[in-house]
Structure 1
Amino acid sequence: MSGAGRAGARAALLVAVVLGAAFVVLVAVRTPWTLLPEPPGGRTPVRPGAGLPPGVAERAASFAAALRPASLASLLLGLAVSAVLALTPLGRRLVTAVARPLGGRWTWQVLLGTVALLVAGRLVTLPLAAYGEVVRHRYGLSTRSWALWARDVAVSTAIDAAITAVVLLVLVWLARRAPRTWWAWAAAAAAGFVVVGSFLYPVVIEPAFNRFTPLAAGQLRSDLLALAQENGTPVQDVLVADASRRTTALNAYVSGFGSTRRIVLYDTTLEQLPDAEIESIVAHELGHVATDDVLTGTLMGALGAGAAVALLGWLLTWTPLLRRTGADGPGDPRVVPLVLLLASLGTLVATPVQNLVSRHVEARADLHALDLTRDAAAFTAMQDRLAATNLADPDPPAAWQWFFGSHPTGPQRVALARDWQRLQEAG
């Protein structure tokens, strides 16, 4: 490597470290590590299964136990396939072969090669995904026909492949145009992409899977709009998603920014929950808006993406790694399988960190819901009903919850509500 190349590699590593440090600081400052003071008499003990109808906790645990091995196997198999494609001649041959009918230009190699690699990975794990759908049908959680399931898989794969292909096309183009500084431009582009994606997701991606209709005028609609107004975050509309075409699960959320912000209720939620419990769910979601959780998450994502791309710029100066892939450098389309592998590994490493932050943020939103509605009974009833309907495991293995759990468990959320109630009673 030339002196300029070594200097560029050191600069990429330095920028990755600086952006990574900024990410850590943002996580430390913006994550609500402490939520409630200890109530008189100590914390409410977490009791898995308490409050649920007989047999529900066992059924939820059985459902989770049936899905967990397939989920883990799919993750490991996907990584194994990505590693084989990246570290053997198979991946680079696929990249060049799919572009050959169109002349073999580097642009087609990147675009079609990325699509082919991602589709290959999806096809290998498809039997495990189908098994998961069988389990969800068996336990009554999925209502999708197999035709709709296949359509959902195809649409999600197409969206993922199209976005990834465009991102990698920009990355390789930058590497060809600015061989020494491509990583800096790509890091800035990645951060910007995360920000733009957060704004576009509600109006571009969500409609690809659900149809939305306005909630009919009535007391519930008026109460939800008033709740948002009281929260200080008025919304533009209250919509109902046709989730029952796919699932019996209950859910609601708030999405969008400014003029696109709206409350979305699953039609299953509207049909099965009383108004007080729906308001409690929506108050939780409004809590995310009130504390700028989406904005903070977007900023964290932008910093993380920038740091990851800068780190990629450093890794792609490592000659033995490039030699292993058969690529001449980051501007060579044959580097695509390696970039996809490194992205998968980075996502895996980031998962427990992301979920650690998410669990604390979700708990804060729970407290916000309690403060906004002042109705701990409705909140507790709603959590029990969600756990029973969605078959949420009340007591997952600690390691699984640490790595994959994006929310506190249902019993943990109920215990938090009881702590809140005791603190209110104690003044």
Structure 2
Amino acid sequence: MNTVTTLFLTALAVSSGLEYWLARRQARHVRLHRDHVPDAFRDRVSLEDHQKAADYTLAKGSLDDVGRIVGIAILLGFTLGGGIDAIAAVWNGWGLPPITTGVGIVLTTLLASQLLELPLNLYQTFRIEERFGFNRTTPRQFAIDLALQTGLSLVIGAPLLALILWVMDSAGAQWWIIAWAILMAFSILMSWAFPTLIAPLFNKFTPLADATLKARIEALLERCGFRSEGIFVMDGSRRSGHGNAYFTGFGSNKRIVFFDTLVDSLDHDEIEAVLAHELGHFKRRHVLKMLAGTALVTLAGFALLGWLTGEDWFYQGLGVREQSHATALLLFMLVSPVFSVFLQPIVAYVQRRYEFEADDFAASQTRARYLVHALVKLYRENASTLTPDPLYAAFHYSHPPAAIRIDHLSAKI
């Protein structure tokens, strides 16, 4: 067996085994604490709500187990199973220009993967979310969303992919630097365009109508030195009962967005505290720091890909005979998550640290107890488990576990 094949299969087995072990720990821990509300939440979360959150977590975890198996099968089918070669043979047989052929190979593979995973998405939406009272998406809305997402991927992704493949073909040995710069510029452009050009295709955004709440938010923005293009309420309830708030955009095109479900469930003090938390990410420059981190990791990835594209063993070891820039890029996209899983705890740790910093900022701008009240309501209404396994959380949680986060904020009351 090729050394690269052995390395790939070993990494896949280890990473998959690790994820399976972590999932088992999570399920066991949640199940063990299902019938006991943690002391910190006993007066604010009923046993019934706590059990619902546990059951919801377990149901999603079971589907994730199936998803991992499906993902492994898809990955092996496209690589060692010859799927990429079969798709490449079809596109090569049409005699199209090389870049067009390359774009076709990559997009066909990615769309086929999405199609194979579609049953899982349907089950998540119409069985699990429906069972726990969160789904408000109709089959028609699901189909429209899927068509829009696919259409946007083709309209936006195909030209970007063609440009990157052209750079790979024509820019010489240092093509990866130019390709990286193009991708980062594209990411920034999309961050700027998303609030006004893309998001409205999926949801309706209306200016916040509550004059009292709007005045409080504007005063908070003034104190924080945050300038936005408006405060909007999104019709999130059209698809889901989950609630959230965020600010989106880049540069001068920033917007503050509340889900209508959140506006309906929190009072003014709590909404202001939630927004103060989101503004904490802005004031502590978390978005820029994450962007810089992403840029460095992406640059390293492109540098690695720049080396791998010229190595026969890279293609052969992953079961691909069709050696081209398109198949190299595709292989890298498919295989790199197998190895990057080991970086998850580092990324998750940084994200959780940022959440603590944003909480601290919110406590300094409003009152910590209002944020505590808001978070407890959101935990309860979103059926978020209060008792995750610590090791699972270390790998997968971008936010601190509920008990730790509430304890951190309670110390500031």
Same fold (TM over 0.5): yes
Q: Please tell me whether residue 377 in structure 1 is matched to residue 369 in structure 2.
A: yes
CA contact (8 A) 1:114 1:165 kept: no
Distance 1:356 1:166, change over 3 A: farther
Q: Which shows bigger deviation, 401-410 or 79-88?
A: 79-88
SS of residue paired to 2:47: coil
Q: For residues 26-65 of structure 1, give each alpha carbon's deviation from its aligned partner in whole angstroms, at most 9, with x where no partner exists.
A: xxxxxxxxxxxxxxxxxxxx85743312321111011010
Q: Which amino acid aligns with 2:167?
A: L
What is the correspondence of 1:207-286 to structure 2 with a 5 Å cutoff?
207-216=200-209, 218-286=211-279
**1:157 positional shift:** 3.8
SS of residue paired to 2:240: coil
Q: Please tell me whether residue 420 in structure 1 is matched to residue 412 in structure 2.
A: yes
Q: What residue is the counterpart of 1:410 in the other structure?
A: 402
CA contact (8 A) 2:247 2:256 kept: yes
What is the correspondence of 1:69-88 to structure 2 with a 5 Å cutoff?
69-88=62-81
Aligned equivalents of 1:297, 1:400: Cα separation in 2 = 22
Q: Which amino acid aligns with 1:118?
A: L
Q: Which amino acid aligns with 2:321?
A: G
What is the correspondence of 1:22-421 to structure 2 with a 5 Å cutoff?
47=39, 49-50=41-42, 51-98=44-91, 100=93, 103-133=95-125, 134-160=127-153, 163-216=156-209, 218-323=211-316, 324-330=319-325, 333-345=326-338, 348-373=341-366, 375-421=367-413
Q: Which amino acid aligns with 2:107?
A: V
Q: For residues 171-192 of structure 1, give each alpha carbon's deviation from its aligned partner in whole angstroms, at most 9, with x where no partner exists.
A: 3222221342222322332333
Distance 1:55 1:108, change over 3 A: same
Aligned equivalents of 1:238, 1:252: Cα separation in 2 = 11
Aligned equivalents of 2:177, 2:76: Cα separation in 1 = 26
Distance 1:213 1:275, change over 3 A: same
Distance 1:309 1:162, change over 3 A: farther
Q: Which amino acid aligns with 1:125?
A: E
Q: Which amino acid aligns with 1:234?
A: R
Q: Which amino acid aligns with 2:52?
A: R
SS of residue paired to 2:116: helix
Q: Which amino acid aligns with 2:200?
A: P
**1:343 positional shift:** 4.5
Aligned equivalents of 1:117, 1:404: Cα separation in 2 = 27
SS of residue paired to 2:109: helix
TM-score, with normalisation over the residues of structure 2? Answer: 0.83
**1:300 positional shift:** 1.4
**1:342 positional shift:** 3.1
**1:100 positional shift:** 4.7
Aligned length, in residue pairs:
372
Q: Which has the higher contact order (CA 8 A, sep 6+)?
A: 1
SS of residue paired to 2:45: coil
TM-score, with normalisation over the residues of structure 1? Answer: 0.80
Distance 1:70 1:120, change over 3 A: same
CA contact (8 A) 1:251 1:265 kept: yes
Q: What residue is the counterpart of 1:36 in the other structure?
A: none
**1:287 positional shift:** 0.8
SS of residue paired to 1:227: helix
**1:227 positional shift:** 0.6
Distance 1:104 1:344, change over 3 A: farther
**1:246 positional shift:** 0.8
Aligned equivalents of 1:321, 1:258: Cα separation in 2 = 40
Q: Which amino acid aligns with 1:290?
A: K
CA contact (8 A) 2:362 2:368 kept: no
Aligned equivalents of 2:149, 2:338: Cα separation in 1 = 21
Q: Which runs of 4+ in 1 moved over 6 A?
A: none
Aligned equivalents of 1:221, 1:291: Cα separation in 2 = 24
Q: What residue is the counterpart of 1:14 in the other structure?
A: none
Q: Which shows bigger deviation, 242-251 or 342-351?
A: 342-351
**1:84 positional shift:** 2.3
CA contact (8 A) 1:326 1:334 kept: no
Residue ranges of structure 2 left out of the alignment (5+ in a row): 1-37
SS of residue paired to 1:401: helix
Q: For residues 276-318 of structure 1, give each alpha carbon's deviation from its aligned partner in whole angstroms, at most 9, with x where no partner exists.
A: 1111111111111111211221111111111111111122233
Aligned equivalents of 2:67, 2:202: Cα separation in 1 = 23
Aligned equivalents of 2:40, 2:166: Cα separation in 1 = 53
Distance 1:205 1:360, change over 3 A: farther
**1:99 positional shift:** 6.4
RMSD over equivalenced CA pairs, Å: 2.3
SS of residue paired to 1:181: helix
Q: Which shows bigger deviation, 306-315 or 91-100?
A: 91-100
CA contact (8 A) 2:247 2:254 kept: yes
Sequence identity (%): 27
CA contact (8 A) 1:362 1:407 kept: yes
CA contact (8 A) 1:355 1:405 kept: yes
Aligned equivalents of 1:399, 1:95: Cα separation in 2 = 42
